[in-house]
Each structure stands twice: as structure tokens, then as C-alpha cells.
Amino acid sequence: MKLFIDSGNSRVKWGMHDGEKWVALGKSDRDGFKGLPLLWKKFSPYCAIGSNVAGKKVQRWLEECLPAVPFDWIKAEKCRCGVENGYEIPEKLGTDRWAALVGARKLLPEGGLVIGAGTALTADILSAEGRFDGGIIAPGLKTMRNSLKENTRLDFGKGRYALPPRNTDDAVATGAILCLSGAIAKLSSSLGNPRCLIHGGDAKELLPHLDLDVRFEEHLVLDGLLILSGESG
């Protein structure tokens, strides 16, 4: 059994793969980390392959969950698994974005956009030839809302999408959604509105507001890690 880990800024997604299929899939925010060691040990994984963008402290903690298991943390490369990395410095590309692009390659044979909707929003361009041609990074929905709380005197709750918004809660929620959906739409339009894949914790909230050919792929990073490990999935 192999353990695959997508360690993001806000949560950890993980999957156990037996060489043929996903046996278990899960996710945990920081408050739920304490339960991971016992949960993972039940599957007796012999190795772990992961993407970590949450820093060294989180990486060390994850490794300590299974001290007898070797961990392999991926790095973005110039070319791998049919994807060419077009970043000016390839290894500077976030490992979650890299894994998602690898996972998206077989799902977007004609190219398209790979959208990650989490703490940060990313939208990455994948050509029909499998080349990553760059992408955008913006604050995610929750990050936008938290920034307003920290930097203004606005008093608001979660709110909902509404046009027109008639209270502060809805005004903030709607503003954040319009900012991100508008940025994605602008980038998509510049590319001729290709097919899109979206993943991440805020994907379901953002998805209804994207007037695009877009599909939700919840485990895109884990699927990419699986391919990078040499498994067919």
C-alpha cells in the first residue's frame, strides 16, 4: 500500500493506493491532524509520496506520523510524464500545481485550464502538446474575506452570493466570487475558452459561477502524484 499526500496551506488530503485502485481517500484540516497517525497505520503503507506547500514544520510532522515509512516529497521538474514545465525556473513551480498539471494531462488532451481553488486561487495553462505555459495566482475566497476582516472595520459573517447584494455579508461574499470568477473568465477568454478542470477546497463554491466548460476533479493532485510515482491509476 502506498500513501499519497497533498499537503496544502489549509488542509491535508491523502489517499491509500494498492497498485490498482484507491482503497481510501480522506482530508483533514489542522485541527484534525492528531488523528492521522493512527488512521494511516491501519493501512500499513510501505512508502509515502507527497506534495507539500505548507512548509518544513508541517512536513516534519507528517513524516513523524509514520516514522518507519520512507517519504518522497516531489519537486517540480523541467519535463515529466508528458508535461513540459514552462516556468522560467521550473523548480520554483508549486508542487501542488505541478502534480495537478500531470494529473490533468490525460484529462485535457486538447489542452485547457487547470484551476486550483484553495487558500490561493491558481489557473494554469496547459497546451495540447502538454506544455505548461504559465498561469495566475490570486488570493482565494476565504483569504480575500479574511484580509477584509484584518484590514478594515467591516463587520460581516459568511454571507451568500446575491446580485445585487443588499447587506455587508452578501456584499463581501459576492465581491470575492466575482473577483475570482472574473479573473478566470478573462484568462479563459484570452485562450479561446478551452476546457477547464477545477479542484480545491473552494471549488464547489466557485463552480456555479463559472460560465465555462469546466469539470470538478476533487483528487486531481493525488491523481498526479499517483502518475508521478509510476502507477497507472
Question: Residues 96, 124, 169, 202: which is the catalytic one?
Answer: 96
Residues in the chain: 233
Report the C-alpha gap between 68 and 230 in whole angstroms.
Answer: 22
Distance CA 147, CA 88 (A): 30
Residue that is written with C-alpha cell 516529497 in the block:
73
Active site (annotated) includes residue 213: no
Position 147, amino acid: S
Angle (deg, nearest 10), helices 168-190 and 141-151: 130
**Helical segments of the chain, H only:** 36-41, 56-65, 95-105, 141-151, 168-190, 203-206, 220-228
Question: Which residues does the annotation mark as catalytic?
Answer: 96
